[in-house]
Structure 1
Amino acid sequence: MKADYCLKSSAVFTGIEEKTKEACILIKKNRIIDVVPFEMKDKFIDENTIVLDYKNKLIMPGFVDAHTHFFSGALSASEHVCEDIVNSVSEEECVKMLLQYAKAHPKEKRIRGRGWFITNWGDAPLPTKKSLDKAFPDIPVYLQAADCHSYWCNSKALEECRITKDMEVSSGYIGKLENGELSGMLVELEALQPADKMYRSFTKEEQKDIYINFIKKTAANGITSLSEMMPADYNEENYVRYTIIKELEKEKNFNIRLHIFPKLYDCENYDMALKLQKEFDSDYMRISGVKGFIDGVTETYTGLLLEPYTDNPDTRGIGVPVKSQRELNRSVIKANAAGLPVRIHCIADGSVRMALDAFEESAKVNKNNLANTIEHIENIDPVDIHRFKELKVIPSMQPIHLILDAHGKINRIGKKRIQYEWPVKTLLDDCHEMAFGTDYPVVEINPFENIYAAVTRKNKDGSPASYNPWEKVSMAEALKAYTYGAAKAYSRENELGSLEKGKLADVIVIDRNLFEVSEKEILEAKVDMTMLGGKIIYEH
């Protein structure tokens, strides 16, 4: 068999070995037909084979981002959202940035922004609608926090999405001022859903343009697989989104592999998930399991701890857990019984414990060896570390969040528990499983920033980013977690995540060999070429 492409380099990382090697990746149609030494390539090539010699640049599997929010992320990358506020250092500066955005985008019917982060505002309290009302009295303003767990809204937005001071939620909270009026803060999924719906309200054609534009960005970053991790309801609105993706795929305008995880909770059965799984099941888009939350984030005291917060000893977590242990167990057992992998958001040690307990109960009755994962794991009780291996649960983590947190954990959980913040190396060494992702749009989708954080545990200026620097990993470990490990979290390790004979030809070329560069140069790395299923979709 003759190859359509022969990709040659002295630095090939297959994703299954610890080092790079001299090799040629041979590709026919959408598959890798072999990976061979230089001297063996000739029998696979003829006058029609395109031979690309990348010298000493790194060739590796396409990045598989294990945790993204495709739909909100695509929107964040569009002109419809003010992303500048990610750099704001105060409420006042954030509002000024929004005024500048509004002036430059007069046709927008709503002002949308994303990325403000209370940790970046020093000791400031949570913002209120007052500053937004003064600046924007006549147009709704929806501002999504960087961690995607809160919305900050003005009065017009609260009115538009029908949030009232008398509304009650079973998890999270709707912020109130001292006089009992709405503050404009909507914290955690149930409370923020009405605002999120308006934030994401666009026509079909607008959505298509948003998604196509975003896919160009993912290709330029070498990302060939990602996910939609917001646990969406089984309703018409979300079904329409899926059909739009299917249309783009038919039009050959969807150059990414998308894995969707609708909601875990409040399902009598999972017939709807299975129906969607049957309808949307291609190489480029599929329903890959279900997703649920147990807690929120420690920044707003909604992360669930085993013991009280160090700086707020009256609580182990406000408005959490989202579900009781009994309800969680029931959902996990039923989903796994239906053949659906379960992924659970767990920020703090209390939620990690609950998720492991639920997976343990499921393992007693379900023997189908599914790719269940726990997402984030920003701190853990050491007694729970070995349970990942025992229960075959994949830890899915985002090293770059360590930098985002900016030493915020020390105040929340104290010196003892901080020893197990983002315990990447400890979990990897114990269970030999790890999936890396960004949680985009919580942080940028740039994989090199994530890799840098994983292998250095440092801020971008080189200063320490953690209180446990021993949790850094090797370059090989980081790249494996970003390829094969993440593919396993999507139940696709047999066709994605490594350069091996018979696998889908998702291949990237990086402009330098990451195994041989300084820490600073990791941050400067760029993607030179991205190939998806044997088709070049990006070249620098």
Structure 2
Amino acid sequence: MGTLWYNGTFLTMRAENESVEALFVKNGIIIDVGSKEELTNKYKEEIQQWQDVMGGYVYPGFVDSHLHLIGHGEKIIRLDLSNMLSADEIDYNLRQKSSELPSGEWVLGEGWNENNFPDQKIFHRHELDDIAPNNPLYITRVCRHAALVNSEALKLAGITKETEDPEGGVIVRDEYGEPTGYLLDAATELVKQVIPNVTEAYLRQALTLAIDDLLEKGLVGGHTEDLAYYNGFKQTFDQFLKTINGKDKKFRAHLLVHHEAVNEMEENGYDFGEVTPFIELGAVKLFADGALGGRTALLQAPYTDDPSTSGVAMHSEATLHAIVKRAREKNRPVAIHTIGDGALDFALTAIEKYPLTRGRDRLIHVQVANEELIERMQKLPVILDLQPRFVVSDFPWVIDRLGSERLSYSFAWKTLLNAGLACAGGSDAPIEPVDPLLGIHAAVTRKQQTDKHEGYLPDQKLTPFEAIQLFTSGSAYAIEKEDTRGVIDRGFVADFTILDQNLCQIDADEIPNSKVLMTVVDGSIMYQNNL
């Protein structure tokens, strides 16, 4: 027995403004499309339920192609610094948090961004000592590629003047060689290792909060990378299995597997592919570089605003090649974090050296490219995971970082699409807001909703249809599900994002104001807005 979905505009996303009037869904699959009358007559013996979508606009379910689900849940649980606009505001909130905690307990915060401060202040450890005199303190930058810590945290981690920089990381030091408390990329791991391990209950809480938040924002699924950071693969993966049970909680979770978690995955009897109808294990994840904010993204030429550095390679070229080679020995695709053009060059060289025989490799972020790198990508089975909101967060300060010459191929979403490259859309939450409407708006306008200018690099604006496709058919293509997900048509899964407006027919700055009426996964309503 099935369900007739009606009283809405069902946008197929096969072509702009193509729609159907009603759907017949059975066992989580779209069996047929057409008018309410013809489907009623055709399936009258099988229709068990009638679902009125209240005049809403029904899209294929939005999927975030790159985020960190547990990290997003942690942002909800922990002190969120991401919207604070001054060092004084950070100072006040950290002091408040420290005063509430017992002596010795860690003060943890998420998402500070000095580019939001008038003075662009980076706290020194001595200032953090004054803020939290009785507690170790660890706060991550918005990019999660840098952190600030106080002296007690450095002491617990054993970081002194004599400590060498780890591979792929930097311990920022003062003129005397003493650590300042500012840690970049792999150096943050030295402190993370001494922060008490999270419990299973904590992971379950973070994951549940994250999924509920995504469902409320219209996301039916996400491609997430969490499996190497919370006491290893098994404890984390077990929480996914327990939380997304396919009954009261349905959500499409595609899990990238950090290269350091692959052995434990195999030891527990798992491999690439579907584990349950809602949980899949995906490509082998690795980092080639850091982020532009902390100047750890690897560039082919020095930073324009700091010619002393070109960024940080997270691995030597030999190590990066070895990781890709090991993945290929098991016939697995890789997903490589590449923000700078230097990192993209490294990643493409490894992929070219060890060709893929099954599936599609993923290049995550691709914020800085050039014509030669684009031509190389065109020859490979790769998909690019783009985060449109990076334009909103990184401009205008990124202009000083990169200089005018590199900008024409930076954050160049339209250029990449016009080159015929397959692209998917995500948020990189908790780095950026997880709301897909904000991502779609950023791709279309390339500015904040309240900004009055024409957008940063306006020639790179996408149409609303192109932007929506990033989060629908693009995300499906990234995981070889383009024949069953990302489109409303016969044989596709009944995953829907139902909004109160047609995003292709309203003013672009109204896109974030659209309301999610329902989020439907596998034919089941997982969120309903009780307006």
Q: Say whether the fold is shared (TM-score over 0.5).
A: yes
Mapped partners of 1:40, 1:403: distance in 2: 46
Kindly state the Cα deviation for residue 273 of structure 1 after the two structures are TM-superposed.
8.0
List per-residue Cα deviations over 1:71-99 (Å, max 9, x = no partner): 21111122xx111x222233332111222
- Partner amino acid, structure 2, of 1:7: W
Contact 1:9 1:59 in 2 (8 A): no
Deviates more, 1:292-301 or 1:190-199: 190-199
**Residues 200 and 289 of structure 1: is their aligned pair in 2 closer, same or farther, counting only changes over 3 Å?**
farther
Moved more, 323-332 or 246-255: 246-255
Name whichever of 196-205 and 456-465 sits farther off. Answer: 196-205
* Residue in 1 that maps onto 2:520: 531
- Deviation at residue 266 of structure 1 after TM alignment: 10
Matched, 1:124 2:120: yes
Q: 1:465 to 1:152 in 2, by over 3 A?
A: farther
Determine whether 1:500 maps to 2:489. yes
Q: Does 1:70 align with 2:49?
A: no
Give the aligned partner of residue 356 of structure 1: 348
* 1:285 paired residue number: 279
Alignment of 1:106-121 (within 5 A): 109-121=105-117
Q: Does 1:475 align with 2:467?
A: no
Distance 1:152 1:348 in 2: 23
Counterpart position of 2:51: 52
Match of 2:173 in 1: 176
1:340 corresponds, among 332, 335, 345, to 332
More strand by share: 2
Distance 1:29 1:199, change over 3 A: farther
Alpha-carbon distance in structure 2 between the residues aligned to 1:66 and 1:488: 10
Describe the shift of the 1:229–1:212 C-alpha distance in structure 2 as closer, same or farther (beyond 3 A). Answer: closer
Contact 1:454/1:472 (8 A) holds in 2: yes
- Of 13, 35, 38, which aligns to 1:15? 13
Q: Secondary structure at the match of 2:498?
A: strand
Distance 1:266-1:260 versus aligned 2 partners, 3 A rule: closer
The answer to whether residue 89 in structure 2 is matched with residue 93 in structure 1 is yes
Residue of structure 2 in register with 1:442 after alignment:
431
Q: What are the residue-to-residue correspondences of 1:120-269 with 2, within 5 Å?
A: 120-168=116-164, 169-188=166-185, 190-197=186-193, 201-229=197-225, 232=228, 237-250=232-245, 252=247, 254-264=249-259
Query: Equivalences for 1:311-326 in 2 at 5 Å?
Result: 311-317=305-311, 320-326=312-318
Residue 491 of structure 1 deviates from its aligned partner by: 3.1
Q: Is the 8 A contact 2:11 2:58 kept in 1?
A: yes
The corresponding residue for 1:32 is 30
Q: Distance in 2 between matches of 1:27 and 1:198?
A: 51
**In 2, Cα distance between the equivalents of 1:192 and 1:312?**
22
What code does the residue aligned with 1:191 have?
Answer: A
> How far apart in 2 are the matches of 1:276 and 1:250?
18
Counterpart-to-counterpart distance in 1, 2:455 and 2:296: 21
Q: CA deviation at 1:159?
A: 3.1
Listed one character per residue, the Cα deviations across residues 444-466 of structure 1 (whole Å, up to 9, x for unaligned) are 11111100000111222133485
Displacement of 1:346 in angstroms is 0.9
| Among candidates 71, 79, 87, match of residue 82 of structure 1 | 79
Equivalent position of 1:298 in the other structure: 292
The match for 2:357 is 367
TM-superposed CA distance for 1:330, in Å, is: 3.3
Residue by residue, what CA displacement relative to the aligned partner does 1:186-244 show, whole Å, maximum 9, x if unpaired?
211x21124345668332223222222222111101111113325727x9533211112
2:385 maps to what in 1?
396
Asked if the contact 1:230/1:291 (under 8 Å) is kept, the reply is no
3-state SS of paired residue (1:515): coil
Q: Are the aligned partners of 1:175 and 1:183 in contact in 2 as well (CA < 8 Å)? A: yes
CA distance in 2 between partners of 1:301 and 1:329 (Å): 24
CA contact (8 A) 1:421 1:468 kept: no
**Which structure 1 residue ranges, 5 or more long, are not aligned?**
none
Secondary structure in 2 matching 1:461: coil
Structure 1 partner of 2:508: 519
1:331 paired with 2:320, answer no
CA offsets, 1:128-154, max 9 Å, x none? 222221021111222111111111112
Please say if 1:429 is aligned against 2:426: no
Rounded Cα–Cα distance in structure 1 between residues aligned with 2:321 and 2:7: 49
- Number of residue pairs the alignment of both structures matches: 527
- SS of the aligned residue for 1:276 comes to coil
Question: What is the CA–CA distance in structure 2 between the aligned matches of 1:465 and 1:343, rounded to whole Å?
Answer: 34
> 1:413, 1:198 → 2: CA distance?
35
Distance 1:137 1:105, change over 3 A: closer
Cα drift, residue 507 of structure 1: 1.2
Residue by residue over 1:357-394, the C-alpha shift from the partner in whole angstroms, topping out at 9 and shown as x without a partner, is: 2222222xx432x2211111112112222322211211
Q: Residues 118, 310 of structure 1: CA spacing in aligned structure 2 closer, same or farther, 3 A cutoff?
A: same
Partner of 2:296, secondary structure, is: coil
Write the distance in 2 (CA, Å) between the matches of 1:160 and 1:37: 66
- Other structure's SS at 1:495 match: coil
Contact 2:227–2:236 (Cα < 8 Å) also in 1: no
CA separation in 2, counterparts of 1:105 and 1:219?
A: 32
One-letter identity of the residue aligned with 1:308 = P
Partner SS state of residue 527, structure 2: strand
* SS in structure 2 of the partner of residue 179 of structure 1: coil
8 Å contact from structure 2 (residues 56, 517) kept in 1: no
Contact 1:270–1:335 (8 Å) recurs in 2: no
Counterpart-to-counterpart distance in 1, 2:273 and 2:486? 25
* Equivalent residue letter for 2:17: K
Tell me by how many angstroms 1:279 deviates. Answer: 9.9
Normalising by structure 1, what TM-score?
A: 0.90
Asked whether the 8 Å contact 2:61–2:472 carries over to 1, the reply is yes
Partner of 2:293, secondary structure, is: helix
Query: Aligned with 2:280: secondary structure?
Result: strand
**Which secondary structure state, in structure 1, belongs to the residue aligned with residue 517 of structure 2?**
strand
Distance in 1, matches of 2:196 and 2:365, equals 25
Query: Does the CA contact (< 8 Å) of 1:75 and 1:200 recur in 2?
Result: no
CA contact (8 A) 1:62 1:530 kept: yes
Q: What is the letter of the counterpart of residue 221 of structure 2?
A: S
Cα distance change on mapping 1:21 and 1:101 into 2, 3 Å? same
Say if 1:466 and 1:160 are closer, same or farther in 2 by CA, change over 3 A.
Answer: farther
- d(CA) in 1 for partners of 2:397, 2:73: 28
Give me the whole-angstrom Cα distance separating, in 2, the residues matched to 1:145 and 1:451: 24
Asked whether the 8 Å contact 2:124–2:180 carries over to 1, the reply is: yes
Whether the 8 Å CA contact 1:406–1:465 is kept in 2: the answer is no
The code of the aligned residue for 1:77 comes to I
Q: Give ranges in structure 2 of 5+ residues lacking alignment.
A: none
* Equivalent position SS for 1:156: helix
